[in-house]
Amino acid sequence: MTVFKPNRREMMKLAAMAPAFALPALGVAAPARAQLGAPASANPTHFRFTLGQARLTILSDGYFSLPTAGLGVNADPADVRAFLERHYLSPDEGYSHTNHLLIEAGDAVVLVDVGSGSRFMPTTGRLMANMEAAGIDPASVTHVVITHAHPDHIWGIRDDFDEPLFPDAEYVIGAAEHAYWLQDDLVNKVKPEDQQFVLGAVNSLTLDGVDWRLVADGEEIVPGLRMIATPGHTPGHMSVVLESEGQQLMALGDAMSHAYTNFAHPDWFNGFDADGPQTVATRMRLLDMAATDRIAVLGYHFPFPGVGHVLREGESWRFLPALWQFEG
Ligand SMILES: [Zn+2]
């Protein structure tokens, strides 16, 4: 397989040619009336809880804002705006958290996704600092599991010297996702505004020092932890299911990216969903599975820490944030 591996100068050249991913005019929208004000001091950036025998930590990589025009692109924009306003959200600008799951189970320490690193947005790339603040030694991570190869999930694979951040870990990704981004000449098959995503994915997936374990639907990574195929948002997107002592939690990745629209209107898909109808079909399956089997879910972009349950309400659904407990 020929792998297109652009060097930094080519990247810059292509980036200059394709400014479309160009960060939307951030910070221009006035704060929505309904939203809470800015924090008065630093807020917590990690959260710990347990699932059976497993010790879980949610670690933030920061946040980013994108125009809400990318939400529900197959719906009437007026309906989307009205929905957001009714839910006390800005109708103009979204706010996405980035909730990483770190699982300590037996001898394994598994990190789900590696965040944006320092080359994506100024408000992201905080995973390593927040991991340090949580007292987690990066060298202790035994497995890095990637849900999909979008920038906010994989560009953080390298440090500023292009070395892998978790040199001793086993790196895991869906075989279909790996094959999609590394197919011949993908960069010239996609729309110009998607070229940076392709280059970033290729650069991340071909990083020296990382050997990938490519997995299929249902494959177990460590005892109690398996990956399931959840395609649509990207062609080989996978989610992570953890089971311990009869309790289950599913790290959705971006199979669901909005804690409100994706539940109330599961048939609305987003601009960044590669295959809208497939995204919707996958989401319906996940919602039904989570509600039926009472599986807790973690949304990578849901409000921090992003963990809760799925309530079936007739034809639609509702996300119920988990009720947190203080330490005894
Ligand atoms: Zn994402």
- Picking from 185, 151, 133, the residue whose alpha carbon sits closest to that of residue 254 is 151
| Cα 151 to ligand 1 centre (Å) | 8
| Cα 300 to ligand 1 centre (Å) | 7
Amino acid identity for residue 257 in this structure:
S
| Per-residue CA distances from 61 to 114, 130, 226, 240, 303 (Å) | 8, 7, 23, 19, 13
Whether the ω angle into residue 303 lies within 30 degrees of 0, i.e. cis, is no
| Cα 154 to ligand 1 centre (Å) | 10
How many C-beta atoms lie closer than 10 Å to residue 160's C-beta? 8
How many C-beta atoms lie closer than 10 Å to residue 38's C-beta? 6
Task: Decide if pLDDT at 235 tops 60.
Answer: yes
Structure tokens at 63: 């946040």
| Cα 8 to ligand 1 centre (Å) | 24
Amino acid identity for residue 246 in this structure:
G
Strands 220-222 and 316-321: unpaired
| Cα 148 to ligand 1 centre (Å) | 8
Q: Cα–Cα distance between 283 and 267 in angstroms, integer?
A: 9
| Cα 304 to ligand 1 centre (Å) | 14
| Cα 153 to ligand 1 centre (Å) | 6
| Cα 327 to ligand 1 centre (Å) | 31
| Cα 272 to ligand 1 centre (Å) | 9
- Residue 2 is predicted with a pLDDT of 42
Ordered by where they begin, the domains of the chain are 8-18+53-321 (3.60.15.10)
Question: What residue ranges in the chain does DSSP mark as E strands?
Answer: 46-51, 54-64, 96-105, 108-112, 143-146, 170-174, 212-215, 220-222, 225-229, 238-244, 247-251, 296-298, 307-313, 316-321
- Picking from 147, 138, 210, the residue whose alpha carbon sits closest to that of residue 177 is 147
| Per-residue CA distances from 275 to 173, 196, 217, 219 (Å) | 19, 19, 19, 24
| Cα 277 to ligand 1 centre (Å) | 18
Task: Assign 34 a pLDDT band (cuts: 50, 70, 90).
Answer: low
| Cα 20 to ligand 1 centre (Å) | 18
| Cα 116 to ligand 1 centre (Å) | 9
How many C-beta atoms lie closer than 10 Å to residue 227's C-beta? 25
| Cα 126 to ligand 1 centre (Å) | 15
- Residue 325 is predicted with a pLDDT of 87
| Cα 156 to ligand 1 centre (Å) | 13
Calculate ∠ Cα 182-186-191, nearest 5°.
140
Task: Decide if pLDDT at 125 tops 50.
Answer: yes
Summarised one tens digit per residue, pLDDT across range 294-311 is 999 999 999 999 999 999
| Cα 115 to ligand 1 centre (Å) | 9
| Cα 187 to ligand 1 centre (Å) | 20
Instruction: Say what percent of the chain tops pLDDT 90.
Output: 85
Summarised one tens digit per residue, pLDDT across range 239-293 is 999 999 999 999 999 999 999 999 999 999 999 999 999 999 999 999 999 999 9
Q: Which of 38-42, 79-83, 155-159, 175-179 has the lowest mean pLDDT?
A: 38-42
Across 262-297, b (16+ Cβ under 10 Å) vs e yields bbbbbbbbbebbbbbebbbebbeebbebbbeeebbb
| Cα 257 to ligand 1 centre (Å) | 7
| Cα 328 to ligand 1 centre (Å) | 34
Across 231-257, b (16+ Cβ under 10 Å) vs e yields bbbbbbbbbbbbbbeeebbbbbbbbbb
Amino acid identity for residue 149 in this structure:
A
| Cα 301 to ligand 1 centre (Å) | 7
| Cα 150 to ligand 1 centre (Å) | 7
| Cα 253 to ligand 1 centre (Å) | 7
Task: Decide if pLDDT at 8 tops 90.
Answer: no
Q: Cα–Cα distance between 309 and 305 in angstroms, integer?
A: 13
| Cα 147 to ligand 1 centre (Å) | 9
